[in-house]
Amino acid sequence: MRVMKLIVGLGNPGRQYERTPHNVGFDVADILAARHGGSWTCERRFEAMTAEIVVSGVRVTLMKPLTYMNLSGRSVAAWMSKNGGEASQILAISDDINLALGRLRIRADGSHGGHKGLLSLIHALGTLGFPRLRIGVKPAGETLDDVVDFVLSRLKPGDWERLVECEEQAADAVEMILAKGLTAAMNYFNRRS
């Protein structure tokens, strides 16, 4: 089992993006830092906030890139240049407009699926071969005319409460990945949600 070294929560910096679907990656990183005593530090060389945590004996870096979503790969590439490791040791956490609100999907690799943050990571790493945890943000029965406007806007209160529950489950999923490996987490969470 290859041990994760870097957990990247994808999102956008700034108060105007807080509590929006596009920032679920940041939210999950914050949950993990709070659960495991991580303290956020601004790392200018990585253009990111980072925190170190230990989960089930595994030391891992949490990252929230400050480059804005479309350039997230720049932060990851800078971190990899200093710390080494393989793309398969990076876990990216992102929203997914193609998944129903509250669903989790863990994959060992794959395409960007239209997500600009994942696309940036793929370009920076030169491979599709890094794990990702995608969090569904599409409310049931809604047709989205403007996807960009939706992911950068606040959700209705009931939908937001459901998403917050899902973010906690996503943090549980990351903990299982670190404790038992990617396959075990995929088998449990992909079916469960």
> What's the maximum distance between 2 C-alpha atoms anywhere in the chain?
45
**CA dihedral sign of residues 164, 17, 21, 9:** negative
Q: Which residues contact 152 (CB under 8 A, 6 or more apart)?
A: 12, 17, 20, 22
Full strand arrangement of the beta sheet holding 58-65? 41-43, 48-55, 58-65, 6-9, 90-100, 132-138, 104-107
pLDDT at res. 144: 65
Strands (E) located in 10-160: 41-43, 48-55, 58-65, 90-100, 104-107, 132-138
- Residue 56: strand, helix, or coil: coil
* Burial bucket for residue 56 (CB in 10 Å: 0-12, 13-18, 19+): exposed
What is the model's pLDDT at position 6? 98
Predicted TM-score (pTM) of this structure: 0.94
Per-residue pLDDT of the chain (193 residues; tens, 9 = 90+): 568 999 999 999 999 999 999 999 999 999 999 999 999 999 999 999 999 999 999 999 999 999 999 999 999 999 999 999 999 999 999 999 989 999 999 999 999 988 999 999 999 999 999 999 999 998 876 666 667 778 888 888 889 999 999 999 999 999 999 999 999 999 999 987 5
Judged on CB neighbours under 10 Å (0-12, 13-18, 19+), 126 is: exposed
3: which 2 tokens? 């041990």
H or E stretch covering 8:
strand 6-9
Token pair recorded at residue 116? 């600009």
Residue 191: what pLDDT? 83
What pLDDT score does 1 carry?
52
pLDDT value at position 150? 80
For 31, the token pair is 């949950």
pLDDT at residue 156 in the model:
85
User: Could you tell me the end-to-end alpha-carbon distance of the chain, in angstroms, rounded to an integer?
Assistant: 24
For the question of residue 22 being annotated catalytic, the response is yes
